[in-house]
Amino acid sequence: MTATAASHARWSLDDGRHEHVVFLVEGMRCAGCARGIEAAVRALPDVESVAVNLATARVSVDWRGAGSTGLAQILAAVERGGFRPVPLAGDAASAQFQAERRAALKRVGFASLGMMQAMMYLAALYGVSDIDASMATLMRVTGMIIVTPVLFYSGAPYLVGAWRDVTNRRLGMDVPVALALLLAWLPSVVNTFRGTGDVYFDSVGMFIFFLSLGRFAEMSVRHRGLTSAEALARSLPAQVARLRADGSQERVAATELRAGDRFLAPSGAVVAVDATLAPELRPDTVALLDESLLTGESTAAHRRGVERIRGGSVNVGAPLTLVAQAAVGDSTLASTVRLLERAQSERPRLARVADRAASGFVAAILGLAALTAAGWIHHDAARAFPAVLAVLVVTCPCALSLATPAALTAAATRLARLGVLIAHADAVEHLARIDTVVLDKTGTLTESGGAVLDVRLFGGLDRASALATAAALERRSSHPLAAALRAHEMAGIVAQDLREEAGQGVEGVIGGTVWRLGRRRWAERCAEAGVVRALPTGDDATTWLAGPAGLVAAIDIGAPLRSGARATVDALRALGLDVIIASGDGEVAVRQAARALGIERALARCTPARKIALVRELRRDGRRVFAVGDGINDGPVLAAADVSCAMGTGSAIAHCAADLLLVHDGLEQLPRAIVTARESLRVMRQNLGWSLGYNLAAVPLAALGLVAPWLAALGMSLSSLGVVLNARRLAGRTP
Amino acid sequence: MSIAYLLVALGLGVLGLAAWALLWAIDAGQYDDLERQGAMILEEEGPADTPPGAGPA
């Protein structure tokens, strides 16, 4: 598994002038490491920005293409810093996870075996006075034989990490840990050979066990976050079998597929790109596809003939030969994945604050350990050594720097399960604090297409033929109305001499008589003289149909509300939020929707500028605004709000300004997303409070010599384990 | 008391054996997926012939 340039998740949005890559880094453990990588990459020419996310172990780099810097140089810089870059795409990353997991599990298992055994033998030395010297020596030697391999096998990551930090002249979290391990182990070995004095082998074993356990838990959370939020990304095969013109196969990287290429999709495999069935298959071939990754729909979809098979769906039927319709980078899936990658590689504000605190922390611990040593040597030299060990071990900057990322990763996992994707790292924090929701109507609260809502008939025609007449008149129109009416066309009703009157409606001849469809005043006039009927008034969204006998029908066309709209609005209000509709639609349609949803404040005929002004005004009043729109027309509005959510799919989402994406148009997930965000913020606060409180309380106790080294090891590991488990609580629960 | 030396040596031997068995089991993939194997008896056929970790999610 070499990190070749071809297998990395990289892309460029402007033909190579600016390039972007995201990759995983192995061996990154602390804020110090993250800063080291950032510095190393930033030192390269043409690099515009570098973001290193500690919790997800990702590095994201933007650079100007066509210069001296390429992906190879960036990867080399990371490697020089002592870390191994690992490509993110496809199998390489999952193989990487598996290897990492097995290695961590072996370390934990080995340490637990060694710890228990060492404890059994060395317990003989505790408080038993009548043990004879030769037996005591036997126990010490046995302890040494057991714990030494544990130190150099299970403890290897800390020793190696500390060595890397020291040689790169930075203070990472591994430094105090490795120092403590060696400080406890070396004198114990010396004392074993001298045959007198204390040995700390059991403490060393226990310390390593708890450390490995804590790190294993942390790794599980990270992997779990990756596996669910990015089941998408990772499920895309890295390689596909492409068919040459002569029918022979060649294995190529999925990124090399171009539109028109024929390739194989074995059963059970993920289709790499948007594609159709190959023409040489039998014409009655039906492809069975599981599209749940894309749509959440779990029953298999059937695709025939030239119907499009979406990249990212799983072939659950027979093996297929497919023709690629687009390159990998142009598919919906790829755009979504890029957004996720960007969000996961950004470091949110809260995490940056904690990172800064944690890096100062290591220096402070080392200073404090030196002070403790100096103090105790004057006071009681015999107790200096355990006290220094305890200070080094008991403090835990990792809990501090894990507090926020662990909670955020867990929140992202749960949100992804709801179908809400995080596109900006700070989104969760902002979402938790909102108090006002501004909803767009069309495409958000309502379905995107129009439909006939109501037909009122005034005699002469039945409903079906009235609609068919209207459809015939609108046949050539591009008005949204026309699309809604098209479903009601009827054979035999054809309009001729169609004429459009700007701003009024259409006129045409059907069966020799003139018909009009449009505004009331204008339509009425096509009636033969003297035929004026007293009719109820409609509103400006109503279209009127008139023939020789005057008005015959009033047709209300609009977009129906989404099924979950009412429940969503109620739930949002139950969360204590103000809900406002800001729509570009006409007064009546908006008022109607507002009434149906029980919303008091509804603004109609909003231009984008007006919506932005509304959002700014609300924010000036001290409100925190959450804007929800379709993501296409609302870009600037979404950007103006504190946090925003876009509905919809398609490649446009990659460029949209929204902080969150609703992937399945599931409006009703919004309140749950807000609840999740609030819970995550609470967990973050708990975590930060807990880790700060723990460190503040533990350090003085350790410095005063009140904490035994083994107890310090336990406390340190429990504090980071507590943070990780507290966050994990969030990922496991379904709201 | 010389029996203690023998017992300790035996204990270390058993420990070494246990450690070797554990590391072997992890490397052989016994701990890779703790949930799926339990449900395997409910599947009609054996698991698809994809290598562990490389199949569809």
- Tell me the per-residue pLDDT of A419-457, one tens digit each, with 9 for 90 and over: 787 777 788 888 998 999 988 876 677 765 566 767 777
Query: What distance in Å separates residue B45's CA from the closest CA in chain A?
Result: 14
Alpha helix ranges (H) inside A6-86: 31-42, 71-80
Query: What distance in Å separates residue B35's CA from the closest CA in chain A?
Result: 15
Give A483-529 as a DSSP string.
HHHGGG--TT---EEEEEETTTEEEEEETTEEEEEE-HHHHHTTSPT
Q: Does A102 touch chain B (CB under 8 A)?
A: yes
What's the confidence (pLDDT) of residue A150?
A: 95
- Strand runs (DSSP E) across A54-110, as ranges? 58-64, 84-86
B56:A101 CB<8 A: no
Nearest-CB residue to B56 (from A110, A132, A314): A314
Tell me which residues of A are annotated as active site: 440
What's the confidence (pLDDT) of residue A190?
A: 93
Q: Does B57 touch chain A (CB under 8 A)?
A: yes
B4:A138 CB<8 A: yes
- Tokens linked to A85: 């870059």
Q: What spatial distance separates the first Cα and last Cα of chain B, rounded to whole Å?
A: 59
Residue A407 confidence class, pLDDT cut points 50, 70, 90? confident
A135:B48 CB<8 A: no
10 Å Cβ neighbour count for A476? Answer: 12
Residue A346 confidence class, pLDDT cut points 50, 70, 90? low
Residue of B nearest to A121 (CA): B8
Nearest-CB residue to B53 (from A94, A121, A146): A94
What's the confidence (pLDDT) of residue A305?
A: 75
Superfamily assignment of A451-558 in CATH? Calcium-transporting ATPase, cytoplasmic domain N (3.40.1110.10)
Residues 217-256 of A with CB under 8 A from B: 227, 231, 234-235
CATH assignment of A418-447+562-677, given 3.65.10.10, 3.40.50.1000, 3.40.640.10, 2.115.10.20? 3.40.50.1000
Q: Does B11 touch chain A (CB under 8 A)?
A: yes
pLDDT at A129 over 70: no
Report the distance separating Cα A467 and Cα A469, nearest Å: 5
Residue of B nearest to A145 (CA): B12
What's the confidence (pLDDT) of residue A293?
A: 56
Asked whether A310 and A274 are in contact (CB, 8 A), the reply is: yes
pLDDT at A668 over 70: yes
Contacts of B29 in chain A (CB under 8 A): 102
Contacts of B11 in chain A (CB under 8 A): 117, 142
The answer to whether the predicted template modeling score (pTM) of the entire model surpasses 0.80 is no
Of A18-22, A74-78, A106-110, which range is least confident?
A18-22
Contacts of B45 in chain A (CB under 8 A): none
Between A133-153 and A201-229, two packed helices, what is the crossing angle to 10 degrees?
A: 20
Contacts of A109 in chain B (CB under 8 A): 22-23, 26
The domain limits of chain A are 418-447+562-677, 451-558
Higher pLDDT, A649 or A202: A202
Residue A363 confidence class, pLDDT cut points 50, 70, 90? confident
Express each pLDDT in A51-88 by its tens digit: 777 666 778 788 887 777 777 888 888 888 778 787 66
A98:B12 CB<8 A: no
Contacts of B12 in chain A (CB under 8 A): 142, 145-146
Instruction: Give chain A's mean pLDDT.
Output: 77
Q: Does A91 touch chain B (CB under 8 A)?
A: yes
Between A565-574 and A587-597, two packed helices, what is the crossing angle to 10 degrees?
A: 60
Interface size between A and B, measured as CB pairs under 8 A: 62
The stretch A563-581 carries a mean pLDDT of 88
Q: HEC profile for A222-283?
A: HHHHHHHHCHHHHHCCCEEEEECCCCCEEEEEHHHCCCCCEEEECCCCECCCCEEECCCCCC
Q: Beta strand A420-422 with A314-315: parallel, antiparallel or unpaired?
A: unpaired
The stretch A4-33 carries a mean pLDDT of 64
Report the distance separating Cα A314 and Cα B30, nearest Å: 27
Residue of B nearest to A228 (CA): B57
Asked whether A408 and A351 are in contact (CB, 8 A), the reply is: yes
Contacts of B26 in chain A (CB under 8 A): 102, 105-106, 109
Report the distance separating Cα A368 and Cα A375, nearest Å: 10
Nearest-5° Cα angle at A395, A389 to A400? 160
